[in-house]
A and B are shown apart, each in its own frame.
Chain A
Amino acid sequence: MSIRPATQDAFRLVGLTLGYDRHPAVHHLSGVVRAGDLLALVGPNGAGKSTLLKGMAGEIPCLEGHIDRFGTLAYMPQADEIDRSFPLSVMDLAGMGLWRKAGSWRGLTRWRPEIGSALDAVGLGGFEARPISTLSGGQFRRALFARLILQDCPVVLLDEPFTGIDNRTVEDLLALIRLWHGQGRTVVAALHDLTQVREHFPTTLLLAREPVAWGPTARVLTAENLVRARNLSEAWDEGAAICGGPRPVDGHDHGSHGLDTHHHEDAA
């Protein structure tokens, strides 16, 4: 895989260990996210999904190994990290997505049509002047998706984007994600709803601190793998021994192998 041209990969994870205070939350993960992949991150609470996304976004340093990134990326964290009481309009929030074009000086008025159509695309047409503090949870999520549209990045990372959102909104946002996939963007999303994953995400990475399986969704989300993921400890062991190196789990081989097959199937 490593000899493929760089432009075909969005992320290359090499022996990646991420964590807090020497305790790994993601342990010895290797694999490649191909450009254009629509990848779901699945796993129990504490499996390291958010940590992996933070690592991919460059938010936290690697304890070991490294990540190669190709292309600018847009990252949507879990919403509670945003100050929603700040007196800001929906237009200004979505307009932040234009940062790379507008910088800190240019007025947003010249992009008003783009902002308007991004808000239309997420069903928030006409909400431009509304303060963000008056939005419901689902509406706020939609506004963040409008910001992602305006960011117009080839790689999109989503951390549990549908938590606490009603079905119709989820359907709309999934349609948007499919549209991005169709446009050739790479999308990586941490999700809990397995039905959603099976229906909309061709590839899945099942994590339980260790990579359990990585490949085409149908082959990853088997009953056996899910049980294994559940049984892998999520414990924070204060007396844990110092790690000697990657253990021979089938996740690694499985991952690259499955990925190959998947792209093969895609091409066929």
Chain B
Amino acid sequence: MIDPFGPILAPFVEFGFMRRALAGCLALSVSAPPVGVFLTLRRMSLMSDAMSHAILPGAAAGFLVAGLSLPAMTLGGLVAGLAVALLAGAVTRATVVREDANLAAFYLISLAGGVLLVSLRGSQIDLMHFLFGSVLALDDAALLLLGGISTLTLLALAAIYRPLVMECVDPLFLRTVSRSGGPVHLAFLALVVVNLVGGFQALGTLLAVGLMLLPAVAARFWARDLGGLIPVSMLIAAIASVTGLSLSYHLDLPSGPAIVLAAGALYLVSMLAGPRGGLLHRLIRPRHLEA
């Protein structure tokens, strides 16, 4: 009663595996939401979902070759994800079909191939591991991978921030002043893939996409510009990680879905109570200003 945060934090104080899970989730909470902010601003929210499926055959191929080996599956996932992103981008530039349609085509091919590969050797349990991960069993290698991905993402975003913003707002303008548009777009797609692969290996696809998009969408109800959206989305992801993990411990729930549901709850709260276009603010409208 004296310490209201006690019950929330207790599992982390008590158990090492909970602290590891928290560290992994927090690393992902810092890197995935900013990527998600740019995805939502570019109206490419669903792209991350497609990409998360596109990773599957690569990871499966790694699994077939080396078993449940983190480096093999990570490498496979990276290769498959980047290949789908690059192919879709290249076909889009070469033909009249739009990028979302091409991406859908390639990810479906990729996903079907992945399911086929897993069923060749793996069991249902392996497939579930692919899709939902195992937050509570993060080993040192997985933690290092998540930390590395997080660092890489933040550094890369800082490096390409301005051309990336310009490419979102006015790609034509960027093309007339610089040739960095294409490389920046590819670098951004690579960041999406890297974050999904990291999250996917350690935490499962659902959690990877969930932590990427839900905080980013929720942040739109709290902040007006990019300088606000990015930190708010990170904060929301971190809160969702702590509460989700804690709830999963106390109520004995699967932790991946619990974290995503916590992020989803924060999204619903933001949608209702957020000061920037939240529903409640529409109901109690303050009188308009003089000018």
B145-164: CB near A (< 8 Å → 1, else 0) gives 00000000000000111110
Interface stretch of the complex, out of A22-30, A44-52, A75-83, A257-265: A75-83
B173 near A87: Cβ-Cβ < 8 Å: no
* From A77, A83, A103, A105, contact of B169 by CB (8 A): A83
* A146 CA / B165 CA spacing, docked (Å): 18
Interchain CB contact under 8 A, B41 and A86: yes
Determine, out of A33-41, A88-96, A201-209, A212-220, the stretch whose residues face the partner at the interface.
A88-96
- Interface presence of B172 (CB below 8 A): yes
B229 sits at the interface (CB 8 A):
yes
Check if B168 is an interface residue, CB within 8 A of chain A.
yes
Partner of A104, one of B169, B173, B180, B225: B180
Residue of B whose beta carbon sits closest to that of A76: B173
Contact B225 A81 (CB under 8 A): no
* A83: chain B residues within 8 A (beta carbon): 168-170
Structural contact, A96 and B170, CB atoms closer than 8 A: yes
Say yes or no for B141: interface residue by CB 8 A criterion: no
CB-CB under 8 A from B137, the residues of chain A are none
User: Contact between B176 and A73 (Cβ–Cβ < 8 Å)?
Assistant: yes
- Asked if A237 is at the interface (CB within 8 A of a chain B CB), the reply is no
Closest CB in chain B relative to A217 CB, distance in Å: 27
Q: How far is the CA of A119 from the CA of B170 in the complex (A)?
A: 19
Q: Would B166 and A96 count as touching, CB distance under 8 A?
A: yes
When C-beta atoms are compared, the residue in chain A nearest to B166 turns out to be: A96
Closest Cβ–Cβ distance, residue A157 to chain B (whole Å) = 9
Are B169 and A93 in contact, CB atoms less than 8 angstroms apart?
yes
Contacts of B174 in A (CB 8 A): 99
Q: Which of A77, A86, A89 has the most CB of B within 10 A?
A: A86
Question: Looking at chain B, what size class is its interface with the partner chain?
Answer: 20 to 34
Min Cβ gap A128→B in Å is: 12
CB of B224 within 8 Å of the partner chain: yes
Of listed B160, B170, B224, residue having the most chain A CB within 10 A: B170
Write out the residue numbers on chain B whose beta carbons fall within 8 Å of the beta carbon of A82: 169-170, 173
Partner of A87, one of B161, B170, B229: B229
Residue of A nearest to B177 (CB): A99
Does chain B have a CB within 8 A of A59? yes
Closest Cβ–Cβ distance, residue A19 to chain B (whole Å)? 15
B175 at the A interface (CB under 8 A): yes
Chain B residue nearest to A21 (CB atoms) is B96
Q: Is the CB of A104 within 8 A of B176?
A: no
Residues on A with C-beta less than 8 A from B162 are 102-105
Query: Distance (Å) between the CB of A190 and the closest chain B CB?
Result: 15
Q: Does A16 contact B (CB under 8 A)?
A: no
User: Contact between B163 and A100 (Cβ–Cβ < 8 Å)?
Assistant: no
Judging by beta carbons under 8 Å apart, are A86 and B168 in contact?
yes
The answer to whether the Cβ of A42 comes within 8 Å of any Cβ in the partner chain is no
Query: Chain B's nearest CB lies how many Å from the CB of A53?
Result: 11
Q: How far is the CA of A151 from the CA of B168 in the complex (A)?
A: 19
Beyond A86-B41, A99-B166, whether A77 also contacts B172 by CB under 8 A is: yes
A13 at the interface (CB under 8 A from B): no
When chains A and B are docked, how far (Å) is the Cα of A75 from the Cα of B174?
11
B-chain residues with CB within 8 Å of residue A58 when the two chains form the complex:
176
Q: Is A74 an interface residue (CB 8 A)?
A: yes
Contacts of A116 on B, CB cut-off 8 Å? Answer: none
How far is A58 from B177 in the complex, measured between Cα atoms in Å? 11
Chain B nearest CB: distance from A131 CB in Å? Answer: 6
A96 and B173 contacting across the interface, CB-CB below 8 Å = yes
In the bound complex, residues from chain B placing their C-beta under 8 Å from that of A73 are 176
CB distance from B126 to the nearest CB of A (A): 42
Minimum CB distance partner of B226 in chain A: A87
**Cβ–Cβ contact B225 & A131, under 8 A:** yes
Chain A residues lying within 8 Å of B160, measured Cβ to Cβ, are: 104
- Scan B38-74; emit 1 where CB is below 8 A from any A CB, else 0: 0001000000000000000000000000000000000
Write the nearest CB–CB distance from A159 to chain B, whole angstroms: 11
Q: Encode contact with A along B212-251: 1 for CB under 8 Å, 0 otherwise.
A: 0000000000001110010000000000000000000000
| Complex contact B41–A59 (CB within 8 A) | no
Tell me the bound Cα distance from A59 to B168 in angstroms.
Answer: 18
A87 touches B159 (CB 8 A): no
Chain A's closest residue to B276 (CB) is: A87
Q: Is B178 located at the chain interface by the 8 A CB criterion? A: yes
The 4 closest A-B pairs by CB, nearest first: A104-B162, A87-B225, A86-B169, A99-B177
Where the two chains meet, the residues of A that have a C-beta atom closer than 8 Å to any C-beta of B are 57-59, 73-75, 77, 81-83, 86-89, 92-93, 96, 99-100, 102-105, 131, 147, 151
Q: Which residues of B contact A (CB under 8 A)?
A: 41, 159-163, 165-166, 168-170, 172-178, 180, 224-226, 229
18 contacts between A and B (CB under 8 A): A57-B176, A77-B172, A82-B170, A82-B173, A86-B168, A87-B41, A88-B169, A88-B225, A88-B226, A92-B165, A96-B166, A96-B170, A96-B177, A102-B162, A103-B162, A104-B160, A104-B162, A151-B177
